[in-house]
Amino acid sequence: MKTLDMQPSRRQFIQQLGLGAAWLGLATNAPLVLANSTHTLPFRQNAAPLLLHWNENSLGMSPNALSAAKYAIENCGNRYPDASVDEFKLKLADHHNVKPEQLVFGNGSTEVLQAIATYAAQNNATMVEPSPTFGDLNGYCKSENLKVIQVPVEQNFEMNIAALKKQAMAQTGSVLINICNPNNPTGNIVDFTTLFDWINNAPETHLFLLDEAYFDYAQANARYKSGLALINQGKDNVVITRTFSKVHGMAGMRMGYGIATVNTANKIKPFAAGFNLSAAALAAASAALDDKPFYKKSIEYNQLSKTILVDTLNELELAHIPSDTNFVLHEIGTPLADYAKHMQQNGVRVGRKMTLDDRWNRISLGTPDEMKIFAQTLKAFRQEGWV
């Protein structure tokens, strides 16, 4: 059986690399191709870098969101955006058909995860989660000295719900259960009937955090349902988190939020940073919600890119986990460090180690054009014996 490791959080990752401020330049603009390197394929010499390592949205944000952000900076950059927060809260509540009081905002959804961890610490909760999964909540819980229990995913990379449930039930006192659905870095979902059955029959002391950062990509799957359905039924032991970083292409703007019943939201809010949203992010998010064609295009492009990638992986007989997200975990058949080095020499940034199996990589889905370049690169790698 493959055993798997926790995905390091982005924060830990940056700290580990010791990149600090330099990371900003490296992650975006720095030329990644080592010109004249013997490991650079002819067609990738001096090529523009492809950033396929952080599950961002290469499409960028909606042009309307960009104009709104520019307008906000030019006209309100010197003013505190209180009124905009109130206005946006009403709009987002309306969008989800919930009460404004049910929303908890974050400067990115990771900030909401931090608030939930701090709230859980007041009850000295134990945190239970699958492994691998998105690592930020784990980091926040450890900072709060909470006990964290990780349950390896199954051999087919599905979450082991029975084992997670067993661990949760074995704890005394409060338990925080972290279910990233769809999961990162595996990209797969938890069947909603299994998940809802667990939540519906769990003790009141068990709070379920359903991290739905990739919700928008999973909606088309009939086996997927957002935890919002449970919150709408009045379940106090569920909180979901969502973000504008993925489908809306606003990772750099930092806008995320949680939704829970009023009762649960009121318990979490005291631990959330107040006054944490910028005028630009509020304006962009508001325009993004209105730009339905961009939203549709973003999902369609992601699907197109996934098809290009999956076709290539199949052609090269490299296994992958079926994904309902904007990334795919797939086999590379060689040590990840070598693969990542060769990719970097060819102007492609790929993931870091996500699983205990060193011969798998998580690749973010760029635009269809980017994925065509990636597919060509991967095929050339096969010729070189690098995959």
Ligand X SMILES: Cc1ncc(COP(=O)(O)O)c(C=O)c1O
Q: Which CB sits closer to ligand X, 165 or 254?
A: 254
Least CB distance from residue 11 to ligand X, whole Å? 10
Q: Does 188 bind ligand X (CB under 6 A)?
A: no
Q: Which listed residue (102, 126, 184, 326) binds ligand X by CB under 6 A?
A: 184
Among the listed ranges 104-112, 117-125, 142-150, 298-306, the one in contact with ligand X (CB under 6 A) is 104-112
- Positions 51 through 70 that interact with ligand X (CB under 6 A): 55
Whether the link from the prior residue into 185 is cis, omega within 30° of 0, is yes
- Nearest-approach distance from CB 319 to ligand X, in angstroms: 22
- Exposure string of 368-380, with b = 16+ CB inside 10 Å and e = fewer, is bebbbbbbebbeb
Single out the residue of 161, 179, 180, 365 in contact with ligand X (rule: CB under 6 A). 180
Q: Assess 213 for contact with ligand X (CB under 6 A).
A: yes
What's the token pair of residue 308?
């290009």
CB of 258 to ligand X, least distance (A): 11
**Cβ distance 11 to 23 under 8 Å?**
no
Q: Give which of 325, 343, 337 is closest to 381, Cα–Cα.
A: 343
Q: State in angstroms the smallest separation of the CB of 253 from ligand X.
A: 9
Minimal distance, residue 256 CB to ligand X, in Å: 3
Range in contact with ligand X (rule: CB under 6 A) among 34-42, 108-116, 215-223, 359-367: 108-116
Cα separation, 16 vs 111, in Å, equals: 21
Comparing C-alpha atoms, which of 215, 268, 282, 198 is closest to residue 239?
268
Q: Residues 222, 224, 51, 349: is their CA dihedral positive or negative?
A: negative
Q: Which stretch binds ligand X (CB under 6 A): 36-44, 96-104, 105-113, 269-277?
A: 105-113
Helix (H) or strand (E) holding 324, with range, is none
| 61 alpha-carbon distance from chain centroid | 16
Half-sphere exposure of 89 (CA within 13 A, CB side): 18
Is residue 360 at the binding interface for ligand X, with CB under 6 A as the rule? no
Q: Which of 88, 105, 119, 134 binds ligand X (CB under 6 A)?
A: 134
Which 243-262 positions form the footprint of ligand X (CB under 6 A)?
A: 243, 245, 251, 256
Smallest distance, Å, CB 41 to ligand X?
29
| Nearer residue to ligand X within complex by CB, 212 or 291 | 212
Are 84 and 76 within 8 A, CB to CB?
yes
Residue 63 Cβ vs ligand X, minimum distance, rounded to whole Å: 21
Q: Is residue 118 packed enough to be buried (19+ CB in 10 Å), middle (13-18) or exposed (0-12)?
A: middle
Question: What is the rounded CA–CA span in Å between residue 1 and residue 275?
Answer: 47
**Which H or E element spans position 327?**
strand 327-331
Among 8, 81, 108, 139, binds ligand X (CB under 6 A): 108
Nearest-approach distance from CB 99 to ligand X, in angstroms: 22
Q: Which range touches ligand X (CB under 6 A), out of 31-39, 43-51, 107-115, 144-152?
A: 107-115
Binding site for ligand X (CB under 6 A): 55, 108-110, 134, 180, 184, 211, 213, 243, 245, 251, 256
